Amino acid sequence: MLIAYGCAFELSFFQPTPTVCLVDVHTSHVRNVLPATLTFETNPGLATDTFVDDFGNIARRFTAPAGKLRLSLDGIYKADGTLDRRDPNARALPVDRLPQDCLAYLAPSRFCESDLLAPLAWQSFGHLPRTTALVEAICTYAHNQLTFDYAQARGTRTASEANAERVGVCRDFAHLAIALCRAVNIPARYVNGYMGDIGVPADPAPMDFNAWFDVFLEGGWYTFDARHNCRRIGRIPIAYGRDAADVPMLRTFGVHSLDVFSVTTELAAGNRVAA
Q: Are residues 167 and 262 in the same domain?
A: no
- Poorest-pLDDT segment among 15-29, 94-108, 198-212: 198-212
The pLDDT-based confidence of 36 (bands split at 50, 70, 90) is: confident
Q: How many residues does the chain have?
A: 275
Domain range holding 190?
95-233
Distances 214 to 33, 132, 187, 218 between C-alpha atoms, Å: 21, 12, 8, 13
Q: Are residues 101 and 76 in the same domain?
A: no
* pLDDT for 259: 95
Q: Are residues 191 and 256 in the same domain?
A: no
Domains identified in the chain, total number:
2
Check residues 204 and 242 and name the one with the higher pLDDT. 242
* pLDDT for 252: 96
Q: Is residue 243 part of a domain?
A: no
Mean per-residue pLDDT over the chain, rounded: 95
Q: Are residues 260 and 221 in the same domain?
A: no
- Poorest-pLDDT segment among 49-53, 55-59, 100-104, 266-270: 266-270
Q: Is residue 255 part of a domain?
A: yes
Q: Is residue 141 part of a domain?
A: yes
Q: Is residue 88 part of a domain?
A: no
Q: Which residues pair with 76 in a beta bridge?
A: 4
Q: Are residues 148 and 227 in the same domain?
A: yes
Amino acid at 98: L
Q: Are residues 68 and 131 in the same domain?
A: no
CATH code, domain with 56: 2.60.40.2250
* pLDDT for 274: 57
* pLDDT tens digits, one per residue of 136-160: 999 999 999 999 999 999 999 999 9
**CA 187 to chain CA mean position, Å:** 16
Q: Is residue 85 part of a domain?
A: no
The pLDDT-based confidence of 194 (bands split at 50, 70, 90) is: very high
Q: Is residue 39 part of a domain?
A: yes
CATH code, domain with 226: 3.10.620.30
pTM over 0.75: yes
The b-or-e profile of 120-135 (16+ CB within 10 A means b, else e) is ebeebbeeeebbbebb
* pLDDT for 35: 78
Distances 238 to 4, 21, 33, 58 between C-alpha atoms, Å: 14, 11, 12, 8
3-state secondary structure the chain: CEEEEEEEEEEEECCCEEEEECCCCCHHHHHHECCCEEEECCCCCCCCEEEECCCCCEEEEEEECCEEEEEEEEEEEECCCCECCCCCCCECCCHHHCCHHHHHHHCCCCCCCHHHHHHHHHHHHCCCCCEHHHHHHHHHHHHHHCEECHHHCCCCCCHHHHHHHCEECHHHHHHHHHHHHHHCCCCEEEEEEECCCCCCCCCCCCCCCEEEEEEEECCEEEEECCCCCCCCECCEEEEEECCHHHCCCEEECCCEEEEEEEEEEEECCCCCCCC
Q: Is the pLDDT of residue 47 over 90?
A: yes
Q: Are residues 141 and 106 in the same domain?
A: yes
